[in-house]
Amino acid sequence: MTLDKQSSITHTQPNYQRTLQRRNRLDRIVRNSFLIYSSLPILFAIIIFVALWMRAHPIFQVQSIIELLTGSTWRPLKGQFGFYPFIIGTIWVTIVALVFAVPVCIFTALYLSEYAGIWAQRLVKPILDLLAAIPSVVYGVWGILVIVPAVQKLAVPLFRPLAKYFPIFASKNPTGYSILAGGTVLAIMITPFIVSIAYEVLQTIPQGLRQASLALGTTRWQTIKFVVLPVSSSGIFASIVLGCSRALGETMAVLMVVGNVVQIPHSIFDSAYPLPALIANNYGEMMSIPLYDSALMAAALILMVMILILNVLSVLTLRHILNEPK
Amino acid sequence: MKWKARYIEEAIMKCIMIASFLIIIASLGWIIVTILIKGLPSISWAMLTQTPKGGYYLGKEGGVLNAIVGSLYLAGGGTFIAIFFAFPTALFLSVYVDNTRWVTVVRLSLDILWGIPSIVYGAFGFILMLMLGLRASLLGGIITLACLEFPIMTRAMDEVIRRIPHDLPLAAYALGSTRLETALYVITKQVIPGLLTAILLAFGRAIGDAASVLFTAGYTDRIPTSLLQPVASLPLAVFFQLATPYPEVQQRAYASALILTILVLGISILSRWISYRLDRYSIH
């Protein structure tokens, strides 16, 4: 028996050497191919940018970038492409969305992290997941069914007395398809992003800071006001910026409720025509009018650059905060 | 008197916070209830099992089977392709980390890709198809959705792989396994529930996305039989039916929206259930 075992060991020794070599070689091959794999995201980001740039290039040769960004006439048939109304429309809708979403989101994140019991924290995760999972077309349908009539029948009459003093509430638009409607729908769509990131940021604050403050006899709200918020302000700001970058690119839901009129809006009840809606609405005819396709690709490029700047800003800030050892 | 003021402030702020929390819950409920109320009356067996017949968009009979099947094809194909890129990338980031700076750069570019809106992916897919000489087709839609899903899936997978206990791979190395063996036999086995969740997350995102397939997949009343034919999708079915002036067709748009919502929420709940069920087989 013992003899048998010994012989088998001596027998497998060279085999083992060989398998070890093979395993190491395989490991090296995979490591190298994985290295190539890992450069994919970077390459991919660059390729998207370059592809858009190449297609948008013809329009930059006809009109300068400044002209494109500040021109306010949009007549594709005459070769006039001014993006100013679209950019302003995008910004208006995004600002309205942020005005609605930010207070609610920050207060919710504060509640979850500073007050709520474990049940609320358990409950909120699936709710945010579902809110993030609902397709934007469904948000659009809901917007048409609920928000647009509400704006038309409730918000416009409600704000009419104020319109005299604040032109931002003046209404010349008889339908409810407006910046306010688009902003409201958008506000709900960006909520899950802002809440979950702001909550994560608040979780990184050392418990000792809160305890020290509470030990001095402050109320919880005073702790939030004087300790939690100042410490987490940059992270919370980053979460808002990230939500803002999501809002800028949202297409279908906004497109369905915002009215899509090429104009420079002056009131939240005016219609607007955000950049993503412009691209989505005109893809059909863009190949039949000269320079139209490259104008739309330029619109996509402008949108992407706007979003990239905000996104990189917030991601870098958050990385710094969330990866710090607690 | 001073202590009183701050307790009142405390109470008011707490009320505001609870109200904010309730607003978020209520808006989710409001959306789902609205879609249910509007969609349920006009949902029928025919909606689910028939393709549009002649005059469907004028209110004649038919269903949205073309869009349901089309969406499943598109999202399924996109997810299938994305897995082959996302899984190795995510595995690499956690297993073969030699150069932390490189990993940071890769993660940053993933975050950037994740932030790019779907309409830009649509435009990019369109350019890609022009270069390849493709028409609006199932293939074009699948490629675009794969691009869209890649960062979503990779980030989600990376997240779960990063969360495994650090000594688990160390134990595997101590027993003499190479990194590849550790990655495949130890780490992958440990994170299977998380991987499935990541895949379903990306699938759900793809099925609900309209802006990217608008450019690239086209729309048709038939169920495609080849990769080069155009294909319908549920979000676009909702969008187009809603744009018609006929109330019957708009009713069907609500029903289609309901189908889409049930599909997406079902996937979300399924993934939660999977990770809950399978999680007990992994080491904590």
- Cβ separation B260–A249 shorter than 8 A: no
pLDDT at B282 over 60: yes
Residue A191 to residue A132: CA distance in whole angstroms: 8
CB contacts under 8 A, A 63-102 vs B, are: none
Residue B28 Cα, gap to closest chain A Cα (Å): 6
Tell whether B24 and B143 lie within a shared domain.
no
- Cβ separation A141–B27 shorter than 8 A: no
Tell whether B31 and B91 lie within a shared domain.
no
- Cβ separation B123–A52 shorter than 8 A: yes
- Cβ separation A52–B147 shorter than 8 A: no
Contacts of A123 in chain B (CB under 8 A): 25
- Cβ separation B123–A300 shorter than 8 A: yes
Check: CB of residue B119 under 8 Å from CB of residue A280.
Answer: yes
Q: Which of B132, B9, B195, B179 is nearest to A25 (CA)?
A: B179
**Would an 8 Å CB–CB cutoff place B5 in contact with chain A?**
no
Contacts of A53 in chain B (CB under 8 A): none
CB contacts under 8 A, B 44-83 vs A, are: none
Which residue from A minimizes the CA distance to B256?
A138
- The number of folded domains in chain B is 2
Most confident range, picked from A121-130, B28-37, B230-239: B28-37
- CATH number for position B109: 1.10.3720.10
Tell whether B95 and B22 lie within a shared domain.
no
- Cβ separation B31–A142 shorter than 8 A: yes
Tell whether B173 and B133 lie within a shared domain.
yes
List, as one string, the DSSP characters of B209-267: --HHHHHHT---SSPPSSTTS----HHHHHHHHHHSS-HHHHHHHHHHHHHHHHHHHHH
| pLDDT interval class at A38 (50, 70, 90) | confident
Tell whether B9 and B58 lie within a shared domain.
no
Average pLDDT over residues B251-265: 91
Residue B169 to residue A262: CA distance in whole angstroms: 58
Tell whether B243 and B211 lie within a shared domain.
yes
Give chain A's length: 326
Check: CB of residue A194 under 8 Å from CB of residue A98.
Answer: no
Residue type, B163: R
- Cβ separation B113–A45 shorter than 8 A: yes
**Would an 8 Å CB–CB cutoff place B218 in contact with chain A?**
no
pLDDT at B1 over 70: no
**Would an 8 Å CB–CB cutoff place A312 in contact with chain B?**
yes
Tell whether B135 and B83 lie within a shared domain.
yes
Q: Where are the beta strands (DSSP E) in chain A?
A: 74-75, 80-81
Tell whether B37 and B90 lie within a shared domain.
no
Whole-model pTM: value is: 0.90
Residue A100 Cα, gap to closest chain B Cα (Å): 11
Q: Which of B207, B109, B204, B180 is nearest to B151 (CA)?
A: B109
pLDDT of A325: 44
Which residue from A minimizes the CA distance to B25?
A127
Three-class SS state of A74: strand
- Cβ separation A136–B210 shorter than 8 A: yes
CA distance between the termini of chain B: 52
Contacts of B214 in chain A (CB under 8 A): 280, 283
Average pLDDT over residues A78-99: 90
Tell whether B210 and B102 lie within a shared domain.
yes
Tell me the per-residue pLDDT of B135-159, one tens digit each, with 9 for 90 and over. Answer: 888 999 999 999 999 999 999 999 8
Average pLDDT over residues A169-180: 83
Which residue from A minimizes the CA distance to B148?
A44
Residue A120 to residue B21: CA distance in whole angstroms: 9
pLDDT of A1: 41
Tell whether B55 and B177 lie within a shared domain.
yes
| pLDDT interval class at A125 (50, 70, 90) | confident
Tell the residue number behind the tokens 């495609």, with chain if given: B224
Residue B192 Cα, gap to closest chain A Cα (Å): 20
Residue B81 to residue A12: CA distance in whole angstroms: 42
Residue A75 burial by Cβ neighbours in a 10 Å radius (0-12, 13-18, 19+): exposed
List, as one string, the DSSP characters of A131-145: HHHS-HHHHHHHIII
- Cβ separation A280–B178 shorter than 8 A: no
- Cβ separation A38–B89 shorter than 8 A: yes
- Cβ separation A27–B264 shorter than 8 A: no
pLDDT of A11: 53
pLDDT at A43 over 80: yes
**Would an 8 Å CB–CB cutoff place A296 in contact with chain B?**
yes
**Would an 8 Å CB–CB cutoff place A321 in contact with chain B?**
no
Q: In terms of residue numbers, what domain contains B229?
A: 47-281
Establish, for the pair of chains A and B, how many residue pairs have beta carbons separated by less than 8 Å.
258
- Cβ separation A39–B106 shorter than 8 A: yes
Tell whether B102 and B85 lie within a shared domain.
yes
- Cβ separation A308–B117 shorter than 8 A: no
| pLDDT interval class at B57 (50, 70, 90) | confident
Tell the residue number behind the tokens 């010349």, with chain if given: A172
pLDDT of A101: 95
**Would an 8 Å CB–CB cutoff place A286 in contact with chain B?**
no
Check: CB of residue B50 under 8 Å from CB of residue B65.
Answer: yes
Tell me the per-residue pLDDT of B78-128, one tens digit each, with 9 for 90 and over. Answer: 999 999 999 988 888 888 776 678 888 888 899 899 999 999 999 999 888
- The percent of residues above 90 in pLDDT, for chain B, comes to 38
Residue A272 to residue A85: CA distance in whole angstroms: 8
Residue A202 to residue A233: CA distance in whole angstroms: 10
Tell whether B32 and B112 lie within a shared domain.
no
